[in-house]
Amino acid sequence: MPGRPTDRLRLTQRHRRVLKALLQEHLPGVEVWAYGSRVNGRGHDGSDLDLVLRGPDLEKIPLDRLIDFEEAVRESTIPFLVEARDWARLPKRFHREIEREHAVLRAAPRKTEPPD
């Protein structure tokens, strides 16, 4: 199910750049969706940012990588709380809820076909 375009995500370009850099550094190859108040129009500048991280093949992301990412976000210049959840560790009912209304912050990397 496609998400909303990221321009619907209430997030300044400056904070978006910082977040994307941290994601690339700590969670390369992970698809990232935003959901919650910053996507559904009920958020404000101080609202937390809810992220769901979808690892390759929707497998669990190693906890040490999640912890490193969360720590890097806390130490960054982003002035609001960023909650990052691993898709594989969430109950299925949360999946349905998030799938209904989300914005794709970073798409899953394209899989390359092995050469013939």
Residues, the chain: 116
Number of helices and strands in the chain (H, E): 4, 4
- Give me the chain's average pLDDT, please: 89
CB neighbourhood size of 107 (10 A): 12
* Nearest-angstrom CA–CA distance, 102 and 116: 37
Residue 61's contacts (CB-CB under 8 Å, 6 or more residues apart) are 27, 30, 53, 55, 86, 88
* pTM for this prediction: 0.87
Where does the pLDDT of residue 41 fall: very low under 50, low under 70, confident under 90, or very high at 90 and above? Answer: confident
Both structure tokens of 108 = 């899953």
- Residue with the two structure tokens 């500048």: 45
Q: Which pLDDT score, from 0 to 100, does residue 10 have? A: 84
Does the pLDDT value for residue 7 go beyond 80?
Answer: no
Please, what are the domains in the chain?
Answer: 6-106 (3.30.460.10)
